[in-house]
């Protein structure tokens, strides 16, 4: 789970470590023929289309000081360690 003090950096680093092991397991399973690829289109609900994550621009990083404290805190956590 994502903790209240986690930010993009801590989540990235944790997922990087988890992902490395998963990549090795997946490649080994593909080589062994024990997994079957599933097209992305089969993972989506009817009418749903995959979309790329939005690009983060400098303006996206700006803090609106009219936001409540929790929203400002979460906004900074979502961009850290690269706040504007």
pLDDT 10s digits, 14-63: 999 999 999 999 999 999 999 988 998 899 998 898 889 888 888 888 99
| Tally of structural domains, the chain | 1
Tell me if the pTM is above 0.95.
no
Classify residue 1: in a domain, yes or no: no
What are the C-alpha distances in Å from 43 to residues 12, 48, 50? 24, 10, 10
User: Is residue 84 a part of any domain in this protein?
Assistant: no
- Identify the domain containing residue 62 by its residue range: 8-79
CB 79 within 8 Å of CB 61: yes
Within-domain flag for 53: yes
In a domain, 3, yes or no: no
Would you say residue 15 lies in a domain? yes
10 Å Cβ neighbour count for 10?
15
**Residue-wise pLDDT tens digits, 60-80:** 889 999 999 999 999 999 888
How far apart are the C-alpha atoms of 31 and 27, rounded to whole Å?
A: 6
CA-based end-to-end distance of the chain: 27
- Whether residue 34 is contained in a domain is answered as yes
**Is residue 2 a part of any domain in this protein?**
no
In a domain, 16, yes or no: yes
């Amino acid at each position: 789970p994502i903790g209240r003090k986690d930010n993009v950096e801590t989540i990235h680093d944790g997922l990087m470590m988890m992902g490395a092991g998963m990549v090795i397991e997946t490649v080994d399973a593909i080589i062994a023929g024990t997994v079957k690829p599933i097209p992305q289109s089969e993972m989506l609900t009817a009418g749903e289309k995959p979309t790329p994550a939005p690009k983060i621009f400098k303006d996206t990083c700006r803090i609106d000081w009219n936001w409540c404290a929790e929203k400002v805190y979460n906004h900074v956590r979502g961009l850290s360690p690269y706040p504007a």
